[in-house]
Every structure is written in structure tokens, then in C-alpha cells.
């Protein structure tokens, strides 16, 4: 059931007797802006660790323990041209406990307190808490940046999305941005977010829908004036391959490739693209895995991934630097093979079965239902589970070959420990 709490603020309730917990997600969505990404990540850290009612992590932990060990967290993510700041709490369903405590209602009140009553003083976030979380975020970003594969992936992004600074930056921000963010500035940004971001509230589990709706209606969200954020970012195909190279001290070189792939979530080519990616590099049965890694022994790992909210395909390979040219060629050969139909029907059926098994396994996750509801709202479309399964099973060899023709290699980044 969907309830519009205000313009741009929607509550979706999904009732199910499948789980013994109830999950509540509050998602703040806005068009992604380069100078706001790190602010939103820092804000999620602050909201996750403190509020006026729960001024430190000990107080938060005590409140969660009182709700029979409820789990609470916050985080940020990207979907195409949108940035999401998400708060989530999972609480045991009181119907399965020897208690009369209204745990779901308490969880809603807890989230409302976190959202609307942050820990502030004199028109800014509490300085000590702000400083601590800024330091924590800086350390977290820098620790991830030490990963060479992550570093190579970010360098590829800088090339692949050269026309959009916001698309180049990871969803959790950039450490160098933090020095310019003050507790006062961030509090002002928080107030804008509360007033302007699109808000999606998902409540999943076994509960009284009318009571949940009434409690969120009482939260007092105001109408949003900004239009709904767009669902997709359309990557610009350059038509030519350009590779950047960098030398560092490392034992395993990284070759990351970025392809233009104009296929978007649930469009006419989407399901063929899912099967194509599994054949190309998205599964242990794929051509990249079997031919680049296993048969030719040219890669420590080789895989591909789809981003159907930005229209790109990426390949990641860990290789011996001296094999650069050979690996680049054999990856191209695998794409050509699929374009020309050089794959067996039995293999197609196996990768379809893998997709279906993964999909059906995901239905056992309460979070899957909640996150899918958020995506459905973003894209303004939904699909029954049985239709998804039918569409995957219906993908033909000709459709796989045709969708493979849409793939164009645009960018590459090669991080090596010596000359290529």
C-alpha cells in the first residue's frame, strides 16, 4: 500500500508473514551534486551515531537494546543521477515475543527522533561529535583508497564520466572535501535536505498498516517543491578507445575497462543484457573467467559488471603487467565471440539458471523487498516476480547477440608495476 504523506514524501507498506522482524527504511533522494556528496556522507555518519535524545553511541545502543536488540544503521548510495541517504532499523516483531511493548511503534518514534532532532547547539551540529565523525569518515575513505583495485576503478570513472564531475566521485565522498565542511555549514545543509529531498519510507513486515501510516503522517513532513530526480544518467559514447596508464609499486597490475552500453533498468534490452553479462564476465561460467583466467592463465581475476542506471559496462582484471596487450586482445575476442554467436545453448541455460537461483534466493531477504520498493519508486515501474522469471527464461540467442552489438569500448586504465 502506498500513502502520500506530502508532495514528494511517500510511505510504502509491504505486509508479509514471512519474517519475524519488521524493517523500516527512510530514504532521502536528491539529484547528485559534486559539492554535496561528501556532505551527505558525513551527515549520514552524524545521524547514525547521535541525536538530541541519544547524544552518543552508548545512549543509542541502550535504546536499541530496549527494543529487543533492534539493528540501526545509516549510509549513502548512488543510483544513476541520484544520491541517496538512507536510515534503516530492523526490529523484532512483538507478535513473536513475550512482550506487550509496541516495538514497531517505538522504532518509528526512534527514527523520527533521529531525523528531526539531531544533536546541535547554537545553530550547528555538536562540535565534538562533528569533529569525531569527520575524522572517522576521512579515515574510512583513505583506507578504501589504499585498495589498488578501488584506485584503478576510480581512475577509470574519472575518464568514463569526464563530462560529469558528480559521476566521477564515489557515493561516500572524497577525503579532501572534509577540510572545507564546518559544523555550521553541514547543519544548514541538513535543514535544506529535510525540506527539499524526495523522501521514500518503506515499512516491511507484519504490522498494523493503519497505525504505521498514522504515525508517519504525524511526523510532519512538508511538501517538496523540487521535481522528482531523474532515474537514469546517460553515458556519452566517445566511439574511440583511450587508455591511461600509471606505474606504482605493486606486484599485480590492474586493467580496468569501461564500455558504453546503452541499456537501462527494465528497458527492452534489459533482460538480454543480464544474460549477456553472465556470459561475458558476470559469472564463473563466463568467457572472461573461463578463457582469460582459466585457460590462458592471463589473469588472477577477470569479471564484468553492469550499471543499468548509467548505461555502462565495466571489466576488471588483475594481471601480470607484461601481458597487457595479450589480455586486452583476448578480452576483445570474448566480446566478439558473443556478438557472433559463438556460445552453446546449454551454456545460456546454465547462466539463466544461475540468475534465477540468485533472484529466488534474494526473495528470502527482507531487505531485498525494501530496496526493490525504493527502486520501483525511483523508476516509477514495478514487475511481479513471476514476470521477471519469465522474461529471463524467454531471452533468446539472437537477443544476446544483438545486445552484445551495443557494447563499445571507450576507456581503459592500466595500473602497473612497470612499463607495459
Q: Is residue 228 part of a domain?
A: no
Nearest-angstrom CA–CA distance, 54 and 52: 6
Nearest-angstrom CA–CA distance, 246 and 253: 10
Q: Is residue 222 part of a domain?
A: no
Nearest-angstrom CA–CA distance, 290 and 359: 23
**Is residue 335 located within the same domain as residue 267?**
yes
The pair phi, psi for residue 72, each rounded to 5°, is -130, 140
Number of domains in the chain: 2
User: How many other C-beta atoms are found inside a 10 Å radius of the C-beta of residue 323?
Assistant: 19
Quick: pLDDT tens for 238-260.
999 999 999 998 889 999 999 99
**Is residue 276 located within the same domain as residue 193?**
no
Contacting residues for 79 by C-beta, under 8 A, at least 6 apart: 231, 309, 375, 378
pLDDT class for 216, splitting at 50, 70, 90? very high
What is the pLDDT, as a whole number, of residue 365?
85
Q: Is residue 145 part of a domain?
A: yes
Nearest-angstrom CA–CA distance, 263 and 269: 6
| 56-65: average pLDDT | 95
Contacting residues for 375 by C-beta, under 8 A, at least 6 apart: 79, 265
Quick: pLDDT tens for 377-408.
999 999 999 999 999 999 999 999 999 999 99
24-61 b/e with 16+ CB inside 10 Å = b?
bbbbbbbbbeeebbbbbbbbbbbbbbbbeebebeeebe
Higher pLDDT, 144 or 67: 67
Contacting residues for 172 by C-beta, under 8 A, at least 6 apart: 37, 38, 41, 76, 137, 140, 141, 144
**Is residue 191 located within the same domain as residue 250?**
no
**CATH number for the domain that contains residue 345:** 3.30.830.10
Domain boundary among 217, 250, 280: 217
Phi-psi region of 195 (alpha: psi -120 to 50; beta: other; left: phi over 0): alpha
Q: Is residue 230 part of a domain?
A: no
Of 146, 107, 149, the residue nearest 23 (C-alpha):
107
Q: Radius of gyration over alpha carbons of the chain, in Å?
A: 23
Q: Is residue 226 part of a domain?
A: no
Domain boundary among 201, 217, 233: 217
Of 10, 12, 171, the residue nearest 78 (C-alpha):
171
pLDDT class for 201, splitting at 50, 70, 90? very high
**Is residue 133 located within the same domain as residue 254?**
no
**Is residue 69 located within the same domain as residue 111?**
yes
Q: Is residue 223 part of a domain?
A: no
Of 41, 189, 54, 49, the residue nearest 129 (C-alpha):
49
Count the helices and strands in the chain (H runs, E runs): 15, 13
Nearest-angstrom CA–CA distance, 24 and 349: 37
Q: Is residue 265 part of a domain?
A: yes
Using the predicted structure, report yes or no on whether residue 145 has a pLDDT greater than 80.
no
What is the pLDDT, as a whole number, of residue 418?
60
User: How many other C-beta atoms are found inside a 10 Å radius of the C-beta of residue 326?
Assistant: 14
What is the pLDDT, as a whole number, of residue 204?
93
pLDDT class for 371, splitting at 50, 70, 90? confident
What is the DSSP secondary-structure string of 296-359?
A: S--EEEEEEEEETTTTEEEEEEEE-GGGHHHHHHHHHHHHHHHHTT-S-HHHHHHHHHHHHHHH
Domain boundary among 184, 217, 250: 217
**Is residue 131 located within the same domain as residue 266?**
no
**Is residue 203 located within the same domain as residue 302?**
no
**Is residue 246 located within the same domain as residue 181?**
no
Q: Is 2 helix (H, G, I), strand (E, B) or coil?
A: strand
| 68-97: average pLDDT | 94
pLDDT class for 333, splitting at 50, 70, 90? very high
- For residues 374 and 27, is the Cβ–Cβ distance under 8 A? yes
Domain that holds residue 363: 242-416
Tell how far CA 363 is from the center of its chain. Answer: 18
**Is residue 251 located within the same domain as residue 191?**
no
- The reported pTM is 0.93
**Is residue 104 located within the same domain as residue 253?**
no
**Is residue 396 located within the same domain as residue 304?**
yes
- For residues 34 and 77, is the Cβ–Cβ distance under 8 A? no
The H or E element that residue 392 is part of is: helix 385-394
Nearest-angstrom CA–CA distance, 102 and 110: 12
**Is residue 210 located within the same domain as residue 322?**
no
Q: Is residue 234 part of a domain?
A: no
What is the pLDDT, as a whole number, of residue 192?
96
Using the predicted structure, report yes or no on whether residue 18 has a pLDDT greater than 90.
no
Amino acid at each position: 500500500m502506498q500513502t502520500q504523506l506530502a508532495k514528494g514524501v511517500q510511505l510504502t507498506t509491504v505486509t508479509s508473514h514471512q519474517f519475524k522482524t519488521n524493517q523500516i527504511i527512510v530514504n532521502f533522494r536528491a539529484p547528485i551534486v559534486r559539492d554535496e556528496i561528501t556532505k551527505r556522507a558525513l551527515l549520514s555518519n552524524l545521524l547514525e551515531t547521535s541525536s538530541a535524545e541519544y547524544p552518543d553511541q552508548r545512549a543509542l545502543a541502550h535504546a536499541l537494546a530496549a527494543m529487543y536488540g533492534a539493528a540501526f544503521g545509516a549510509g549513502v548510495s548512488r543510483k544513476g543521477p541520484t544520491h541517496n541517504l538512507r536510515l534503516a532499523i530492523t526490529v523484532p516483531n512483538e507478535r513473536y515475543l513475550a512482550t506487550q511493548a509496541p516495538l514497531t511503534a517505538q522504532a518509528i518514534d526512534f527514527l523520527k527522533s533521529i531525523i528531526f532532532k539531531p544533536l546541535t547547539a547554537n545553530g550547528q551540529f555538536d562540535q565534538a561529535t562533528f569533529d569525531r565523525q569527520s575524522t572517522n569518515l576521512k579515515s574510512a575513505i583513505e583506507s578504501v583508497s589504499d585498495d589498488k583495485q578501488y584506485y584503478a576503478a576510480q581512475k577509470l570513472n574519472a575518464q568514463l564520466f569526464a563530462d560529469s564531475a558528480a559521476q566521477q566521485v564515489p557515493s561516500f565522498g572524497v577525503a579532501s572535501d572534509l577540510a572545507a565542511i564546518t559544523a555550521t555549514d553541514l547543519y544548514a545543509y541538513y535543514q535544506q535536505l529535510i525540506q527539499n529531498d524526495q523522501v521514500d519510507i518503506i515499512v516491511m513486515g507484519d504490522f498494523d498498516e493503519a497505525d504505521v501510516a498514522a504515525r508517519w503522517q504525524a511526523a510532519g513532513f512538508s511538501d517538496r517543491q523540487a521535481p522528482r530526480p531523474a532515474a537514469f544518467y546517460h553515458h556519452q559514447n566517445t566511439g574511440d578507445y583511450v587508455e591511461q596508464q600509471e606505474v606504482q609499486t605493486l606486484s599485480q597490475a590492474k586493467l580496468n575497462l569501461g564500455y558504453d552500453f546503452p541499456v537501462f533498468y527494465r528497458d527492452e534490452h534489459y533482460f538480454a543484457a543480464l544474460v549477456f553479462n553472465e556470459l561475458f564476465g558476470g559469472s564463473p561460467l563466463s568467457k572472461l573467467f573461463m578463457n582469460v583466467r582459466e585457460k590462458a592463465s592471463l589473469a588472477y581475476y577477470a569479471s564484468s559488471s553492469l550499471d543499468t542506471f548509467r548505461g555502462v559496462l565495466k571489466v576488471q582484471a588483475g594481471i601480470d603487467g607484461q601481458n597487457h596487450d595479450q589480455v586486452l586482445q583476448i578480452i576483445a575476442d570474448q566480446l566478439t565471440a558473443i556478438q557472433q554467436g559463438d556460445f552453446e545453448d546449454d551454456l545460456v541455460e546454465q547462466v539463466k539458471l544461475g540468475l534465477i537461483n540468485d533472484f529466488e534466493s534474494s526473495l528470502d531477504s527482507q531487505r531485498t523487498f525494501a530496496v526493490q520498493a525504493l527502486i520501483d519508486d525511483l523508476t516509477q515501474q514495478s514487475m511481479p516476480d513471476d514476470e521477471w522469471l519469465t522474461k529471463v527464461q524467454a531471452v533468446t540467442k539472437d537477443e544476446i547477440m544483438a545486445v552484445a552489438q551495443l557494447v563499445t569500448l571507450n576507456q581503459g586504465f592500466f595500473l602497473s608495476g612497470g612499463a607495459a
